[in-house]
Amino acid sequence: MNVFSHPEFDNHEHLSFFCDPETGLKAIVAIHNTSRGPALGGCRMFPYASDEEALRDVLRLSRGMTYKSALANLDLGGGKSVIIGDPRKQKSEALLEAMGKHLEGLGGQYIAAEDSGTSVPDLKVMGRHTKHVAGIVERTAFDGQPSNGDPSPTTAYGTFVGLKAAVKHKLGRDDLTGLKVAIQGIGNVGYRLARHLKEAGAE
């Protein structure tokens, strides 16, 4: 498995592989860029078909987080972490605690948040061993509703707004009435996106 010559490697500042045989944890943390501040990015748990697939995902997503933070003018850089495993079968408190210990060992260069396969309670378990986790404190969301750190409502709304902008650009329309939209996957984000689209008159 090549790293420096990998097609998704983009002068990443840091890449760490962590294995804890006792809990079964196998994880990769990628820090793409910290010029604006510590790297922020989700911690994903997914049953990757291969180590190569996991590496490709973490390199690609960490780079994307650098640009997201910069576009939002945040004092944060871009990073990502992946845990190789099925979150429905292999996730345990011990595994999450081991991940928290590994994050703490990075000295604050990377801050983990919720992502596919992880939840706010999972991040709280990691938080027993590190302060470098985000989205575990309840706040008020953009719509005035209480938020527990789950980013899916905001992600769904952002996707909805982006879709409306694409329709305006391509079709010259301000409304979505009668427009047919395909959604791949009705998870936490897809379900909320479907609700926004239905309320806007889309099919």
- SS3 assignment, position 51: helix
Residues 155 and 128 in one domain: no
The residue range of the domain holding 186 is: 151-199
Residue pair 70/37 in contact by the 8 Å Cβ criterion: no
Give the CATH number for residue 46.
Answer: 3.40.50.10860
Domain-terminating residue out of 108, 140, 172? 140
Catalytic site residue from 26, 80, 91, 164: 80
Packing angle, helices 188-199 and 152-171, rounded to 10: 50
Q: Using the Cα atoms of residue 194, residue 196, residue 198 and residue 203 in order, give the sign of their dihedral.
A: negative
- pLDDT score recorded for residue 188: 84
pLDDT in tens, 5-28: 999 999 999 999 999 999 999 999
Prediction pTM value? 0.82
- pLDDT score recorded for residue 23: 98
Residues 99 and 171 in one domain: no
User: How far is Cα 81 from Cα 42, in angstroms, rounded to an integer?
Assistant: 6
Is residue 170 among the annotated active site residues?
no
Q: Decide if 171 is inside a domain.
A: yes
Nearest by Cα to 26 from 1, 3, 45: 45
User: How far is Cα 121 from Cα 43, in angstroms, rounded to an integer?
Assistant: 13
Residues 41 and 128 in one domain: yes
pLDDT in tens, 82-97: 999 999 999 999 999 9
Higher pLDDT, residue 73 or 155: 73
Q: Decide if 134 is inside a domain.
A: yes
Whole-angstrom distance between the N-terminal and C-terminal Cα of the chain? 44
Quickly list H helices, the chain. 51-71, 93-105, 120-126, 152-171, 188-199
Residues 106 and 179 in one domain: no
Give the model's confidence band at 58: pLDDT under 50 very low, under 70 low, under 90 confident, else very high: very high
| Region 40-67 average pLDDT | 97
The per-residue pLDDT of the chain, averaged, comes to 94
pLDDT in tens, 136-147: 887 776 666 666
Residues 119 and 175 in one domain: no
Higher pLDDT, residue 144 or 187: 187
How many domains would you assign to the chain?
Answer: 2
pLDDT in tens, 76-132: 999 999 999 999 999 999 999 999 999 999 999 999 999 999 999 999 999 999 999
